[in-house]
Amino acid sequence: MSKQPPREILSASAVVPVMAIDDLSTAVDLSHALVEGGIPTLEITLRTPVGLEAIRLIAKEVPNAIVGAGTVTNPEQLKAVEDAGAVFAISPGLHESLAKAGRNSGIPLIPGVATPGEVQLALEHGIDTLKLFPAEVVGGKAMLKALYGPYADVRFCPTGGISLATAPEYLALPNVLCVGGSWLTPKEAIKNKDWDTIIRLAREAAALKPKA
């Protein structure tokens, strides 16, 4: 099976929710709520002990979701998330061994970068769809505008410190496909299984997608 193009994956949603799942029993209902609200592309991070199992479960039980993995930091994790059913992987940073593994992987790797040097490392390995991380800390919109000059063909999913209020300014930039955000999955709502709140937050985020 050929890889789904990373830009197609990221363009499916205005916002990619960064999901740190602590309780496996909430994973499927949470994902259904996000998809119902119009957010199909999901990044399930490996920050929690059940992250990998959550990817496996969501990939199996939520057919309309585009399930991806986040916080992938080495080639072994990249292989593990692919085996679990993820169709894309996002890393917080990039190094040589991960870049090489991404080239040979059956799913696209969308690595995190924070500098022009890291953009060039990614390009050297044929990767031109990236995550700017941590976006607000490394210059946010100003950094993306600066990178557009020398790297006009590169596209980004800025993540880190972005909110519903600031997302539109990022989405208006020509080199931004979507933004990553954790505000769609507040811990209290998940703990209380308040799926109506999650659906509402997803709908607000989905409405940010520019009209084609």
Tokens 């890291």 sit at which residue? 118
Backbone angles phi, psi at 57, to 5 degrees: -70, -45
Judging by beta carbons within 10 Å of its beta carbon (0-12, 13-18, 19+), is residue 8 exposed, middle or buried? middle
Which residues, 6+ apart, have CB-to-CB distance to 142 below 8 Å? none
DSSP calls for 58-88: HHHH-TT-EEEEE---SHHHHHHHHHHT-SE
Amino acid at position 42, single letter: L
* Cβ atoms of residues 181 and 205 within 8 Å: yes
Question: Mind telling me the catalytic residues?
Answer: 43, 131
Token pair of 26 as six digits: 């909430």
